[in-house]
Amino acid sequence: MIVGLTTTVTWEHKTFDQEGVDQLIDAVKSLPDPVEVLLIGCGDNLMFLPEHLRQMFREAGISVDLMNTGAACRTFNVLMTEERRAAVALIAVD
């Protein structure tokens, strides 16, 4: 799931291969409000985004940070109180 300022969209492909990142970028771009910061909640385990995939987000004008899902939720709430153009993509915690 991806939560934006006013909308939630589905993100089902929860891997960081080329197809997963393409789908994630498309889903973020489909949000009605522009996104500058994307937080990715990686469940219980921290994952790393390869540099070439991070570059894809930069080219789309999106700063991306990966963290565990709880931290992503908390950080998203802070960014919302600061009226930042942010979204959070969440991988469920098992």
Contacts of 11 (CB under 8 A, 6+ apart): 1, 2, 23, 24, 27, 89
Q: How many domains does the chain have?
A: 1
Q: What share of the chain has pLDDT > 90, as a percent? A: 45
What CATH number does residue 77 fall under? Answer: 3.40.1230.10
**Residue 13, domain extent:** 2-91
The rounded mean pLDDT for the chain is 87
Residues 9-54: tens digit of each pLDDT:
887 766 667 777 788 888 888 899 999 999 999 888 788 888 888 8
pLDDT at 93 over 90: no
- Higher-pLDDT residue of 73 and 14 is 73
> What whole-number distance in Å separates Cα of residue 19 and Cα of residue 38?
18
Q: How confident is the model at residue 76 (pLDDT cuts 50, 70, 90)?
A: very high
